Structure 1
Amino acid sequence: MMNRIVFACLLLSLYSAGSSLSCRWLSHKFRQHTENSLELLDTMANNSTNTTEDAELEVAFPHDLYTQASKASVGERLGFIVQILEQTAALFEEAHNSTLWEEKTVEDFLNVVTQQADGLRSCNGSNSHKKNKKLQMYFKRLSGHILGRMGHSAEAWELIRREIKIHLFRADQLASSLLTTN
């Protein structure tokens, strides 16, 4: 009987230690990676010859989705941030051949964003999060409406770069809120 109690306590302590360790990445690395990705986006802007401030086409930023995500469970918030990072990576995969940005900068940006998504997945453990369809549609509109209609021009990519910068900033805020609730 005593062995079972000791075994149960041992399992409980290992589980507790494991669950707190799994999100150590969030508190130690996520902010660092966000700062790195924002710096890379700024480098892309500095390397761009485009100075256009106005755009013919716009896709409304999904503020309401962030509001909903901020009220969701920890696992759903992590899943939402992961989805933003995955969608961002997918969008910037298109940038390799159609931008004036240095290929190395784009590759570094993709690596950082992918590392962030992987790190957050490790925090969420085996909890698979269902994709937010509205967020998915928003990124499709960015790709089709902005990039497609504007012919993957430098102006279109500058709009995308600015939108993604806002997303990464908002995702960082959402991640920071997770640290205060844990």
Structure 2
Amino acid sequence: MSIAFVLWSSNAADASGCPWVRNEYYKYSEEAIKLLQKMVVQNMGDLETPVAFPDKLYKRAANESAFFRLSFEAQVLEEVANLFDNNHASLALDEVKLDHFLNMIHQQIDGLRSCVYIPHQFKTYYFYIQITNKKPRFNTKLHKYFQRLSQEVLEQEKFSARSWEMIRSEAIMHIFHASQLTPTE
């Protein structure tokens, strides 16, 4: 019995072993992207943000274990949600669509966290740490990237429609790239 527990624990964060990722994650990601695509403030063509997309962070995350990839994906979604939650988004975007989008993102975060943190079974989580000697980590560089995005795009442009178009485009890219980190099989 303890051997089965050890094997299950060590695979607890395996993306293909997490029912939520297998059954729901990609549906929610696609729907979140579709919602963002519908939330066009003004058609301004292609806008580039002054903050470079963090390709290196995604490449590094892609080479990590499923446990870390799921943690990274959850943090990406939290950072995206924070951009829209904390920055007067309702002034520029359709409030109903924004609420629906944020609910969807928070459901994704909860689903990913359930694969990594296994609620009410902390023994399993800590057991995983003991076996692998790894803990999920907060990616400071990712957090600083999103802070710069908020400051250099939204705040400097005083939350204008143009700044929200840039943020909306960046959010689509992040949701897409995050969903690509976890293979379906």
Task: Please classify the TM superposition score into its range, dividing by the shorter chain length.
Answer: 0.7 to 0.9
Counterpart of 2:115 (choices 123, 126, 139) is 123
Aligned-CA RMSD value: 2.4
SS in 1 for 2:159: coil
User: Take 1:68 and 1:56, find their aligned partners in 2: how far apart are those partners?
Assistant: 24
2:19 maps to 1:24: yes
User: Take 2:160 and 2:139, find their aligned partners in 1: how far apart are those partners?
Assistant: 28
2:168 maps to 1:161: yes
User: Take 2:39 and 2:65, find their aligned partners in 1: how far apart are those partners?
Assistant: 35
Deviations 1:32-81 (A, max 9, x none): 10011011101102xx2x22236585110000101000001111111110
Counterpart of 2:180 (choices 169, 173, 177) is 173
Greater RCO structure (CA 8 Å; 6+ sep): 2
Deviations 1:146-181 (A, max 9, x none): 0010000000000000011011110111122xx33x
Counterpart of 2:106 (choices 99, 102, 114) is 114
Per the TM alignment, residue 16 of structure 1 is displaced from its structure 2 partner at its CA by: 3.1
Counterpart of 1:38 (choices 33, 40, 45) is 33
**2:94 equivalent in structure 1:** 102
Q: Does the aligned pair in 1 maintain the 2:49–2:166 contact within 8 Å?
A: no
Q: Which has the larger radius of gyration?
A: 1
User: Take 1:62 and 1:152, find their aligned partners in 2: how far apart are those partners?
Assistant: 22
Q: Which structure 2 residue ranges, 5 or more long, are not aligned?
A: 118-124, 130-134
User: Take 1:145 and 1:13, find their aligned partners in 2: how far apart are those partners?
Assistant: 48
TM-score when scaled to structure 1? 0.82
Indicate the percent of aligned positions where both proteins have the same amino acid: 35
Deviations 1:121-141 (A, max 9, x none): 111133752111110010001
SS in 1 for 2:69: helix
Number of aligned positions between the proteins: 166
User: What amino acid sits opposite 1:104 in the alignment?
Assistant: V
Aligned in 2, Cα 1:14/1:65: closer, same or farther, shift over 3 Å?
closer
Q: Does the aligned pair in 2 maintain the 1:22–1:122 contact within 8 Å?
A: no
